[in-house]
Amino acid sequence: MKLAFTLNGRPCDTATPDHWTVLDLLRDGLDLMGTKYGCGEGVCGTCTVLADGRPIRACLVLAAHVRGRAVVTVEGLETDGRLDPLQTAFAERGAAQCGYCTPGIMLAARALLTENPTPTEHEVREALSGNLCRCTGYTKIIEAVLAVAGSK
Partner 1 sequence: MRLHPFRLVEPESVRDAIDALQQLDGEARLVAGGTALIAMIRLGLVKPDRLISLHRVRELRQIRVDNGWLELGAMATHAEIERSRPVRTGWPLLAEAVHRVATPAIRTSGTIGGNLAYAEAASDPAPALLCLNAEVVVAGRGGIRTVPVSRFFRSFYEAALDPAEIVTAVRVPPTPAGARGGYVKYTSRSEEDKPLVGVAALVVLDASGRCQDVRLALGGAAPTPIRTEGAERTLRGEALTDSAVRAAADVAAQQADPLTDLMGSADYRREMIRVWVRRLLMSLRDAGR
Positions 92 through 131 that interact with partner 1 (CB under 8 A): 108, 111-112, 126-127, 129-131
Residue 29 DSSP one-character state: I
- Distance, in Å, from the CA atom of 12 to the CA atom of 45, rounded to the nearest integer, reads 24
Element containing residue 87 per DSSP (H, E): helix 85-93
DSSP state of 65: G
If one counts every other C-beta atom within 10 angstroms of the C-beta of residue 20, the result is 18
Contact status: 26 vs partner 1 (CB under 8 A): no
- Position 21 contacts partner 1 (CB under 8 A): yes
Binding mask 35-64 for partner 1 (x = CB under 8 A): --x--xxx--x--x--x--xxxx-xxxx-x
- Cα 117 from Cα 127, distance rounded (Å): 13
* E runs forming strands in the chain: 2-7, 10-15, 48-51, 54-57, 70-72
C-beta of 16: minimal distance to partner 1 in Å?
10
Binding-site member from 13, 18, 31, 80 for partner 1 (CB under 8 A): 18
How many residues in the shown chain lie near partner 1 by CB under 8 A?
Answer: 33
Task: Tell me which residues touch partner 1 (CB under 8 A).
Answer: 1, 17-21, 24, 37, 40-42, 45, 48, 51, 54-57, 59-62, 64-65, 67, 108, 111-112, 126-127, 129-131
